[in-house]
Amino acid sequence: MLVPTERDVMIVPALCCDKAGCRLGRGGGYYDRYLADCPAVTICLCRERLLAEKIPKEWNDLTVNIVITEKGPIRL
């Protein structure tokens, strides 16, 4: 496993995302566990039509720093 540094950027996959940076993944929590100790800037790529107003969030779900759609970035 790679060890992230402060200068790292990580693109995090998602099925959809909301405007607060919450993402819906595949339900395994793999990225949430990895990102818990990761100082990297996190980016989620999401189609505008899949950008939700709000996605339900569990206590262990982490948010991303930036959501990028085809209309541009949303900094959180």
Domain definitions of the chain by residue range: 9-75
CATH number belonging to the domain at 9-75, selected among 2.60.40.10, 3.40.50.10420, 3.10.129.10, 4.10.490.10: 3.40.50.10420
Q: What are phi and psi of 31, to 5 degrees?
A: -70, -35
Is it the case that residue 11 has pLDDT exceeding 80?
yes
pTM for this entry: 0.80
Strands (E), 19-61: 23-24, 41-45, 51-52
* Tens digits of residue pLDDT in 24-73: 888 787 788 887 877 788 999 999 999 999 999 888 888 899 999 999 99
